[in-house]
DNA sequence: ATGAAAGCGCTAACAA
DNA sequence: TTGTTAGCGCTTTCAT
């Protein structure tokens, strides 16, 4: 009865495909070892009541000596909840998404859930592939930072009960909760700041136009210029990849020619970083305001429109868990405020 | 036969605990809908051969109209492999770990696996809790950046077949693969660099002494000083939390008194950032070399010992998958080289 | 080419 | 307090 080895092959039963998991012990093994029933082991493992201290001790001993660990896959299969949520973001290596992901993780942890995150690398197909893989693993909920602009592929999943919240950018062609930063308002305020400091020729260098935030920020730029009665020259606006080479090109371009811009509004942190590098090598002082705060921007005197990445993540996660707790109201749309942080670069006056 | 609804409650069978998953369709449902056997659906879903094009089409239609998605939990239960690996790190919001995690993710992706990562927040208990939770979910492998110094709790898991690789810091009281940066050599080179530029009184401000890299870097500092025949004053060395307040205090302290240090070696990126801030407000110019590269450090002219976080992650992940592919040699220990990047702050001479 | 039946490890329901 | 049974959704085996 108290045999510590498991029969290598349950005789008479079709054996598994291959030596799985180096033969992990199961509750059945623990039960045999402790000389109790299967359900009793289950009770002990899950801290359910109705087990005498003595039995519990015996079971615990068996667990330890066998090195048993509950198989959550089996548990999930039975219970229907995985206590895990998925986060699809663009790139974990981007300093903007790290804090966002961490904030989501903390909320998940507070709800006893694990976070699985994956990077879409700004590729819509990969976004879809990832999101669906997470659904196949039956995450209870999904937080998505869209790379693509059509999320109808998530409809069956959402109908099937996968709570879904979009962050940073709105979903395409589907109704769902969204948590955004006020890109339009932030950009408008930033550009207005430059105008207030005397600038009239201001460039906008941003991300690719299929990205919602890029378009919104451009819209904010246009609004601020229009508010001031300024006409935008097409050559001042450059949307595209945020790869350093492209941005470098764009910055140099708006600074060239007989009538260069005197100020630049950078559409996100990647653009700002490269712009700062280019401007550092430029002979003329050029004003700069960037969207997104950056580490050490204070020391470099970079004026920014700061958004709170952690707050974005936290808000989205809280919304998600509210849904998982059964709240079933209309899809909501939240826009978090941005903050203008003047540090010097945005207050440089135009050359007189 | 081609009925699109599933009986709400399988009659005569004890029904499940609650309306699971908003009633997700299963292969059985798809089979009924398509008028084929269960196994045929399985074949189609998994792209196995032995299905006529016509049958396949019917099954595909049923899948789409039902919004079926394979339940990977059930699959895992049968197959024994989850095609997922776990990564336990310190803090995803730290710009050092973002790229590391991303690199691991890419390798995992190349091997068809998903990455689940969690932050230990530098808390040994939380590290263990997380690692074991990942094991309960039967990740195929585990990459751990240790917070604690005793990893015997992983022994049963490793015995049970969970491939395990440690990164950035070695494991405690257990034999396993490790991928490190050469902290000792890097710190030694950095401090030697300061000495070569004329410094004699050099401070070391680092992380908590229970963290391996902190100790190694301190050892490198001591070695460089000794190489130069310099005696270290105890007041020059400060180990502890990397919270800005603590570091600020430490920096101010080594710069105070009648014989302040003329140079500082910062033990990691968090320390460097705060040190730079403090030094920016200091009237005397003080040399600084920091361990870890930092974004925009080039513009601020910060001399650093750079380690390649992505390479650490990549190397560890490759090692892990080699193990998962069945390679079973001795635990290996790899140390990646660091690079001294002179940018100005490390070349400031002592005041004469 | 297709399907029926067994069972992966666990929990829910129901005895005992 | 404890154990027995059925079945979660899938894959495997073996028959047809």
* CATH number for position A238: 3.40.50.2300
Both B105 and B251 in one domain: the answer is: no
Using the CA of A39, give the nucleotide whose C1' is nearest.
D3
Both B173 and B220 in one domain: the answer is: no
How many separate domains does chain A show? 2
d(CA B290, CA B223): 17
Both B272 and B189 in one domain: the answer is: yes
Which residues have a Cβ under 8 Å from the Cβ of A169 and sit 6 or more positions away?
A145, A146, A180, A211, A212, A213
Using the CA of A75, give the nucleotide whose C1' is nearest.
C10
Whether the pLDDT of residue B31 is over 70: the answer is yes
A156-185 as b/e: b if 16+ CB within 10 A: bbbebbbbbbbbbbbbeebebbbbbbbbbb
Mean pLDDT confidence for B35-44: 95
The pLDDT of residue B322 is 96
Confidence of residue A322 (pLDDT cuts 50, 70, 90): very high
Mean pLDDT confidence for B116-143: 95
Residue A179, beta-bridge partner list: A167, A334
Whether the pLDDT of residue A13 is over 80: the answer is no
Q: What is the mean pLDDT of chain B?
A: 92
d(CA B294, CA A296): 9
pLDDT digits (tens, 9 = 90+) for A109-159: 999 999 999 999 999 999 999 999 999 999 999 999 999 999 999 999 999
Both B301 and B208 in one domain: the answer is: yes
What is the span of the domain harbouring residue B188?
183-307
Mean pLDDT confidence for B304-309: 98
Both B283 and B210 in one domain: the answer is: yes
pLDDT digits (tens, 9 = 90+) for B312-335: 999 999 999 999 998 999 999 999
The pLDDT of residue B131 is 97
Cross-chain residue pair A299–B310, CB shorter than 8 Å: no
Whether the pLDDT of residue B1 is over 50: the answer is no
Residue B241 lies in a domain: yes
Query: How many other β-carbons are positioned within 10 Å of the β-carbon of residue B64?
Result: 11
The pLDDT of residue A22 is 55
Whether the pLDDT of residue A10 is over 90: the answer is no
Cross-chain residue pair A105–B119, CB shorter than 8 Å: yes
Mean pLDDT confidence for B17-26: 60
Residue B57 lies in a domain: no
Query: How many other β-carbons are positioned within 10 Å of the β-carbon of residue B156?
Result: 19
Alpha helices (H) along chain B:
27-34, 38-45, 53-66, 72-79, 97-110, 124-136, 155-159, 183-196, 212-227, 244-255, 269-280, 297-300, 309-324
Cross-chain residue pair A92–B114, CB shorter than 8 Å: no
The pLDDT of residue A23 is 76
Proximity of residue A23 CB to strand C below 7 A: no
Q: Which of A114, A277, A279, A294 to mutate to test the interface with B (most CBs of B within 10 A)?
A: A114
Max Cα-Cα span within chain A: 94
> CA at B59, C1' at C2: how many angstroms apart?
13
Give the chain B residue nearest A324 (alpha carbons).
B21
> CA at A36, C1' at D6: how many angstroms apart?
20
Both A216 and A129 in one domain: the answer is: no
Both B176 and B203 in one domain: the answer is: no
- Name the minimum distance, in Å, from the CA of A295 to any CA of chain B: 8
The pLDDT of residue A170 is 96
> CA at B23, C1' at C6: how many angstroms apart?
25
Give the chain B residue nearest A135 (alpha carbons).
B69
Q: Which of B255, B267, B169, B177 is nearest to B218 (CA)?
A: B267
Both A197 and A211 in one domain: the answer is: yes
Whether the pLDDT of residue B16 is over 80: the answer is no
Q: Does this model's pTM top 0.85?
A: yes
Q: What does chain B come to in residues?
A: 352
Mean pLDDT confidence for B177-184: 98
Whether the pLDDT of residue A14 is over 70: the answer is no
Q: What does chain A come to in residues?
A: 352
Starting at the edge strand that comes first in sequence, how are the strands of the sheet with B163-167 ordered?
A: B114-119, B84-89, B141-144, B163-167, B177-181, B333-336
Both A269 and A204 in one domain: the answer is: yes
Both A172 and A317 in one domain: the answer is: yes
Does an H or E element contain B117, and which? strand B114-119
Cross-chain residue pair B137–A114, CB shorter than 8 Å: yes
Considering CB atoms only, which of A98, A105, A115 is closest to B98? A98
Whether the pLDDT of residue B348 is over 60: the answer is yes
d(CA B213, CA B185): 11
Which nucleotides of chain D are near protein (any atom < 7 Å from a CB)? Answer: 1-14
Both B119 and B196 in one domain: the answer is: no
Q: What's CA A285's distance to the chain center, in Å?
A: 36
The pLDDT of residue B23 is 77
Whether the pLDDT of residue B211 is over 50: the answer is yes
Residue A1 lies in a domain: no
Both A193 and A153 in one domain: the answer is: no
d(CA A220, CA A211): 15
Whether the pLDDT of residue A21 is over 80: the answer is no
Mean pLDDT confidence for B78-88: 94
Residue A350 lies in a domain: no
Nucleotide C8's nearest residue (CA vs C1') is B78
Q: What is the mean pLDDT of chain A?
A: 92
Strands (E), chain A: 84-89, 114-119, 141-144, 163-167, 177-181, 202-206, 237-239, 263-266, 287-291, 303-306, 333-336, 339-341
Residue B294 lies in a domain: yes
Residue B32 lies in a domain: no
The pLDDT of residue A11 is 31
Residue A191 lies in a domain: yes
Q: Which of A14, A80, A87, A308 to mutate to test the interface with B (most CBs of B within 10 A)?
A: A80
Residue B282 lies in a domain: yes
């Amino acid at each position: 009865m108290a045999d510590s080895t498991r029969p290598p092959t349950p005789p008479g039963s079709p054996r598994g495909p291959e030596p799985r998991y180096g033969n992990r012990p199961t509750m059945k093994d623990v039960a045999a070892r402790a000389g109790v029933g299967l359900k009793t082991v289950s009770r002990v493992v899950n801290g359910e009541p109705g087990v005498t201290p003595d039995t519990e001790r015996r079971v615990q001993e068996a667990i330890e000596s066998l090195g048993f660990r509950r198989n959550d896959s089996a548990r999930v299969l039975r219970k229907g909840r995985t206590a895990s949520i998925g986060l699809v973001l663009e790139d974990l290596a981007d300093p903007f998404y790290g804090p966002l992901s961490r904030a989501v993780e903390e909320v998940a942890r507070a709800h006893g859930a694990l976070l699985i995150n994956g990077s879409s690398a700004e590729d819509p197909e990969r976004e879809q592939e990832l999101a669906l893989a997470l659904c196949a693993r039956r995450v209870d909920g999904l937080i998505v930072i869209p790379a693509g602009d059509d999320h109808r592929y998530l409809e069956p999943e959402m109908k099937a009960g996968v709570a879904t919240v979009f962050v940073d950018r709105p979903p395409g062609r589907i109704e769902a909760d969204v948590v955004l930063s006020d890109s339009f308002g932030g950009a408008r305020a930033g550009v207005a700041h430059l105008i207030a400091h005397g600038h009239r020729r201001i460039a906008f260098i941003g991300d690719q136009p299929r990205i919602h935030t890029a378009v919104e920020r451009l819209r904010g730029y246009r609004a601020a210029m229009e508010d001031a009665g300024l006409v935008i020259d097409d050559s001042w606006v450059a949307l595209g990849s945020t790869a350093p080479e492209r941005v470098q090109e764009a910055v140099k371009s708006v600074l060239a020619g007989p009538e260069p811009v005197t100020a630049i509004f950078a559409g996100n942190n990647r653009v700002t970083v490269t712009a700062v590098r280019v401007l550092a090598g430029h002979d003329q002082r050029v004003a700069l305001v960037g969207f997104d705060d950056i580490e050490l921007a204070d020391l470099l005197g970079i004026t920014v429109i700061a958004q709170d990445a952690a707050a974005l993540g936290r808000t989205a996660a809280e919304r998600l868990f509210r849904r998982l707790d059964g709240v079933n109201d209309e899809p909501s749309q939240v826009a978090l405020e941005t903050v203008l942080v003047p540090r010097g670069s945005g207050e440089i006056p135009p050359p007189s």
